[in-house]
Every structure is written in structure tokens, then in C-alpha cells.
């Protein structure tokens, strides 16, 4: 799956979890850039991403997710 396709799917997941249809993500997007992306919603986002992509994150990967680009990179690596 291409990074652009992963980003598009991530955007859908973020919109669903945050219940905000106007969310627009880029690789540089951080939690500060998205209303409602706080520590609790971060956990919900991680779980939803795992379900959507059929992957599992380990603790080190979760703590290292500082922006959407890092989400994309980890997902791409796990999908091989």
C-alpha cells in the first residue's frame, strides 16, 4: 500500500474516531493541529488504526508517534 493510500485511510479513521468530518491530515500534522486529538483520543486512534489496517503496534512504536507521517511510516513498515 502506498504512503498516499495509507494517509487517505488514516484520514478516514481520524474523522470517524474524532467525529469530525473536516479533519485534513498531512504527514506533518500533529495533535496540536487537530481539535480533539488528546491523550484519550490518541489511544482510541491507535486501536482504530490497528483494526483498520490489521496490524498491532508495540509500546515503543506508540510512544514514538509524534505526527501523522510517523503513523504512515510505521503502518507501511508493518504492511511490508
Question: Is residue 65 pLDDT above 90, yes or no?
Answer: no
- What's the chain's average pLDDT? 94
CATH number at residue 72: 1.10.1200.10
> 34: domain range?
3-79
Q: Using CA atoms, how far apart are residues 65 and 69, in angstroms rounded to an integer?
A: 8
Q: Mean pLDDT over residues 35-41, rounded?
A: 91
- Nearest C-alpha neighbor of 62 from the set 75, 79, 51, 53: 75
pLDDT for the residue numbered 70: 93
pLDDT at 56: 96
Q: How many domains does the chain have?
A: 1
Amino acid at each position: 500500500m502506498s504512503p498516499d493510500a495509507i494517509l487517505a485511510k488514516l484520514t478516514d479513521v481520524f474523522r470517524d474516531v474524532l467525529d469530525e468530518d473536516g479533519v485534513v491530515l498531512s504527514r506533518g500534522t500533529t495533535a496540536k493541529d487537530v481539535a480533539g486529538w488528546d491523550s484519550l483520543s490518541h489511544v482510541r486512534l491507535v486501536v482504530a488504526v490497528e483494526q483498520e489496517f490489521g496490524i498491532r503496534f508495540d509500546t515503543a512504536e506508540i510512544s514514538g508517534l509524534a505526527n501523522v507521517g510517523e503513523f504512515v511510516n510505521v503502518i507501511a513498515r508493518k504492511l511490508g
